[in-house]
Amino acid sequence: MRKINFIDLQAQYRAYENEIDSAIKNVCKEARFIMGPQVLELEKKLEQFTGSPNAITCSSGTDALLLALMACDVGSGDEVITTPFTFIATAEVISFLGAIPVFVDIDETAYNIDPTKIEEKITERTKAIIPVSLYGQPADMDEINILAEKHNIYVIEDACQSFGSEYKGNKSCNISTLSCTSFFPSKPLGCYGDGGAIFTTDNEMAEKIRSLRVHGQTKRYHHKYIGLNGRLDTIQAAILNVKMDHFEDEISKRHKIAAKYSEKLKNLDGLVVPFVKEDRTSVFAQFSVRVKDRETVVAKLKEAGIPTAIHYPKPLHLQEAYADLGYKKGDFPISEIVSEEILSLPMSPFLSDEDQDYIIETMKSFYNA
Ligand SMILES: *Cc1c(COP(=O)(O)O)cnc(C)c1O
């Protein structure tokens, strides 16, 4: 039986093996493991790529979100608006700081926060909005930025899945004052462990975040803020520097693979392929379709050697950890229905033509097509 990887990180390593090995070896030889020159080199590359004036690498996507909220002085009693249809990290950091996540349902076409439902949730305590650019497609940033400006609140794009995508000609990570991405191995740009970055168009904010990342210090052993240890390892930066050089090429492969999936699966009755709005692109961190009777489809695909994943099976307002927020089933109906039908298929720039054809044919056979 065919054995297909959900995300083929081994094939990616084989493709860049020599470059990656030598980059890691250099770090070992130089022994500047913390904030070595490769970290600065990566930050410059990230700035160049996104067009953002400030890229600040850090220890994970979660810490990127935490640092961004800390930079906005989000704390006890503050409210932060976000989507319930995301990975828990988006909301977790809000709660971690003693603030309250206030959920707003998603738009049924692209699965991102519905901007028309945000304003009614804004109160005097609202400090920020965190739209998530889910599956790699930027959220409706213009509408959100306008609302935020009107009410004087911050916008932090959770771009953990969308690094490399575009919105009206600008790169994700450079379409709001603050933005956060993740270099978790399976993200579009992944390292070999945990990593992340914060982007900001505000130079003062950037300085504060750089300080918060290293225990709030302004110079060694002089601490202006209460911060944390949130740096990116030099070894991870060195690996990312290699991967950045191949990233444009990987993005076009992602587009090609996603276009083929969509083209071949779009007419199957009862299956919904991803919808990307006209003024933006997706990097397809996930290629997620909607199916009826998901359990059966998952089981049949598994039988055929095709792994799948569910992003995400339970919206945040229904999670046990958030029981005390007092939400109930029915509060965010679109998030709820999508979470019951969504299904991610194998997706990576290294998915071979043959494997993709096999996945498509297998899917079609369930629909007698
Ligand atoms: C992956 C992810 C995060 C967290 O990133 P880590 O690097 O794993 O901490 C946050 N938000 C979203 C939407 C993600 O997909």
pLDDT, tens digit (0-9, with 9 covering 90-100), for 53-66: 999 999 999 999 99
- Per-residue model confidence as pLDDT tens digits over 144-169: 999 999 999 999 999 999 999 999 99
The tens digit of pLDDT for each residue in 233-270 reads 999 999 999 999 999 999 999 999 999 999 999 999 99
- Number of Cβ within 10 Å of residue 327's Cβ equals 17
Residue type, 179: S
Listed in sequence order, the DSSP H helices in the chain are 9-30, 37-50, 61-71, 89-96, 141-151, 203-213, 234-265, 294-303, 333-341, 353-366
Out of 57, 59, 182, mutate this one to test ligand 1's pocket (max ligand atoms within 8 Å of CB): namely 182
Burial of 299 (0-12, 13-18, 19+ CB in 10 A): exposed
pLDDT for 329 equals 98
pLDDT at 369 over 90: no
User: Residue 368: its pLDDT value, please?
Assistant: 77
Q: What is the pLDDT of residue 144?
A: 98
> How far is it, in rounded angstroms, from Cα 215 to Cα 21?
32
Distance in Å, CA 160 to ligand 1 centroid: 5
The closest-lying atom of ligand 1 relative to the alpha carbon of residue 62 is 9
Q: How confident is the model at residue 2 (pLDDT cuts 50, 70, 90)?
A: confident
| Res 367: pLDDT | 87
326-353 confidence digits (pLDDT tens) = 999 999 999 999 999 999 999 999 999 9
pLDDT at 1: 73
pLDDT at 56: 98
CA–centroid distance, 87 to ligand 1, in Å, is 7
E strand or H helix at 46: helix 37-50
Between the CA of 85 and the centroid of ligand 1 the distance, in Å, is 13
What is the average pLDDT score of the chain? 97
Confirm if 347 and 283 have CB atoms less than 8 A apart.
no
Segment 118-150, tens digit of pLDDT: 999 999 999 999 999 999 999 999 999 999 999
pLDDT digits (tens, 9 = 90+) for 274-288: 999 999 999 999 999
Q: Give, using CA atoms, the residue closest to atom 14 of ligand 1.
A: 160
Alpha-helical (H) ranges within 227-331 are 234-265, 294-303
Q: Give residue-wise pLDDT tens across range 19-36.
A: 999 999 999 999 999 999
Q: With cut-offs at 50, 70 and 90, classify the pLDDT of residue 78.
A: very high
Q: Which atom of ligand 1 is nearest to the CA of 86?
A: 13
Cβ of 62 less than 6 Å from ligand 1: yes
Cα(90) to centroid of ligand 1, in Å?
A: 7
Cis status of the peptide bond prior to 135, with omega within 30 of 0: no
Name the one residue in this structure whose structure tokens are 């575009």.
166
